[in-house]
Amino acid sequence: MRFFEFEAKQLLARRGVPLPESRIARTAEEAADAQRELGGDVVLKSQVLSGGRMKAGGVRFAGSADEARGAAEAILALPINGQHPQGVLVERKGEIAQEYYAAVTWDGRAKRPVIVFSDMGGIDIEEVAEAHPDHLSRTHLSTLRPLSDYQAKLAVARTGVTGGDLNRLARIVLQLARAFREHDLTLAEINPIGKLADGSILALDAHMEMEAEARGAHRALLAELGIPEHDTRQARPPTPFEVAGAEVDAQDTRGVAGNVTEFSGSLGLVIGAGGGSLTLFDAVRSAGGDPANYCEVGGNPSVRKTAALTRLIVSKPGVEKIAVMMNVVSNTRVDIMARGVIKGVIEAGFDPADKIAIFRIPGSWEEEGFAILRRYGVEYVDRSVSMHEAARRAVAKLAGLDGG
Amino acid sequence: MPDGLFIRVDIAESVQGDPELVQRLIEVCPVDIFDRAEGGVATVAENLDECTLCDLCIQAAGDDRVRVVKLYAE
Ligand code: SF4
């Protein structure tokens, strides 16, 4: 779940990270009052859960209360990427001498958190990584050992920063890494960190995202930030298809058959098992496939629930076939899954032999499951066929090629 | 579509006159396939395909009084 900038900055402020003085305004009048309190030049920023605010006109400047009122009126009336602003952050504006970038996120390949730091902040960090790799450092962190000042310093020093700036920036980076770890964040980013003309260093913008599954562990923190339990903070509102997927998952407490994300392709996916969903989704993409959805199935969902999920996916406009694939399962039964998907396909008015491109769920009760699949003429494979190969066959079958 | 696409559960007539067994069947089935009906017991159509093949009903009643049929194996 993503935090608004003003909330992310509250998390930083609690840790002593220096920030520009600011006020959150919900109305244009409050923005005018904020300018009066702060005095001088201010920047007004739209509070939306989306990037691209500057380009969209969601960031404006003002030097008086009247200008602030006008800027806030314009910002509050401006949706950005379909999102209506939840307020305007009014901040004191300073002269920036240099901008830096700092983030802590997960490195999926290294399976560890990583500090990414650059002395070229304020711009797209991917661009810096590509065009100026010598201006960007990556410093991996342990998931077990405590964070140390040294690691934060190393991350900054690797870009050539020295002296007092090194110490001040390292303190910010260390606090960012601590916030990342203690709040179960998936991303903690400050872009830019600004060095002002007077030499002070401030976090000028902040972007933080918390692991959605960790919300329960951070109820007190979220309550302190004023975030209600029903506020899911998805980057975009869920589509009707995704809402229906959540309803399927909520229909009984047995297992998981939901967490659906909508895509526009023609291959429906019923996938899951211990990280299998992500692997299988990627496998379909790397085989040239075009998924209609992402989803997560596991923990031995009921036949009813699997059938409802399958019905939803197979009935989605544009879906030509579905691929039913999981990693080797131990706590999900193959025969129960086979019953669920076949039932869902039949209930949606289709022939399982035609609609199911491939069934690759090896594991518990697989012989029983394979007997069901044989009865309905569904092509299935066991664990001797890898997830990637199964995905390739499903994609080939959809393309009208012989998948085998 | 039949009551269950994959599973049928046959209950012998003799079970109906045995209230203790009726109660046990209702208790042992983990997916609520048995329920009271007209003083005896009947299967719940919408739950039949949830059968886990655990055999608890058969252990309770004996395989001559309750039979769990896999329709896909017929
Ligand atoms: S085998 Fe188990 S799940 Fe199936 S009807 Fe009997 S008790 Fe219920």
**pLDDT digit string, tens, across residues A49-85:** 988 899 999 999 999 999 999 999 999 999 998 889 9
- Chain-chain contact of B50 with A303 (C-beta, under 8 angstroms): yes
Q: Which domains does chain B have, with CATH numbers?
A: 7-70 (3.30.70.20)
ipTM: 0.95
Centre of ligand 1 to C-alpha A372, Å, is 18
Residue nearest to atom 3 of ligand 1 (CA): B51
Higher pLDDT, A237 or A165: A165
Residue A293: predicted pLDDT: 97
Centre of ligand 1 to C-alpha A195, Å, is 70
Centre of ligand 1 to C-alpha A259, Å, is 30
Contact residues for A333 (Cβ-Cβ < 8 A; gap 6+):
A300, A364, A365, A368, A369, B52
pLDDT band for position A230 (50/70/90)? confident
Phi, psi of A266 (to 5 degrees): -110, -5
Mutate to test the pocket of ligand 1, among B57, B58, B66, B71 (most ligand atoms within 8 A of CB): B57
Centre of ligand 1 to C-alpha B52, Å, is 6
Residue A402: predicted pLDDT: 56
**Both tokens assigned to A70:** 């006008």
Mutate to test the pocket of ligand 1, among B27, B51, B58, B71 (most ligand atoms within 8 A of CB): B51
- How much is the average pLDDT of A307-312? 98
Which of the following CATH numbers is that of domain A240-402: 2.60.120.260, 3.90.1150.10, 3.55.50.30, 3.40.50.261?
3.40.50.261
pLDDT band for position A5 (50/70/90)? very high
Mutate to test the pocket of ligand 1, among B31, B35, B48, B49 (most ligand atoms within 8 A of CB): B31
Nearest-Cα residue of chain A relative to residue B7: A339
Contact residues for A125 (Cβ-Cβ < 8 A; gap 6+):
A101, A103, A116, A118, A136, A191
Nearest-Cα residue of chain B relative to residue A303: B50
A116: pLDDT strictly greater than 70:
yes
Of residues A395, A255, A394, A260, the one with CA closest to residue A329:
A255
pLDDT tens per residue, range A241-300? 999 999 999 999 999 998 899 999 999 999 997 778 999 999 999 999 999 999 999 999
- A1-19+95-226 under CATH 3.40.50.12710, yes or no: no
Residue A52: predicted pLDDT: 86
> What number does the ligand 1 atom closest to the CA of B43 have?
5
Encode chain B (74 residues) as per-residue pLDDT tens digits: 458 999 999 999 999 989 999 999 999 999 999 999 987 999 999 999 999 999 999 999 988 899 999 999 97
Phi, psi of A21 (to 5 degrees): -65, 140
The dotted CATH code for A21-93 is 3.30.1490.20
Residue A123: predicted pLDDT: 82
- Chain-chain contact of A375 with B50 (C-beta, under 8 angstroms): no
- Chain-chain contact of A375 with B72 (C-beta, under 8 angstroms): yes
pLDDT band for position A404 (50/70/90)? low
Any atom of ligand 1 within 6 Å of the Cβ of B52: yes
- Chain-chain contact of A303 with B49 (C-beta, under 8 angstroms): yes
- B69 vs chain A: nearest CA distance in angstroms? 13
Domain segments of chain A as ranges: 1-19+95-226, 21-93, 240-402
CB distance from B5 to chain A under 8 Å?
yes
Residue A36: predicted pLDDT: 97
Residue A266: predicted pLDDT: 96
pLDDT band for position A401 (50/70/90)? low
CB distance from B44 to chain A under 8 Å?
no
A235: pLDDT strictly greater than 70:
no
Any atom of ligand 1 within 6 Å of the Cβ of B55: yes
Residue nearest to atom 4 of ligand 1 (CA): B51
Residue A403: predicted pLDDT: 53
Any atom of ligand 1 within 6 Å of the Cβ of B41: no
pLDDT tens per residue, range A139-191? 999 988 989 999 999 999 999 999 999 999 999 999 999 999 999 999 999 99
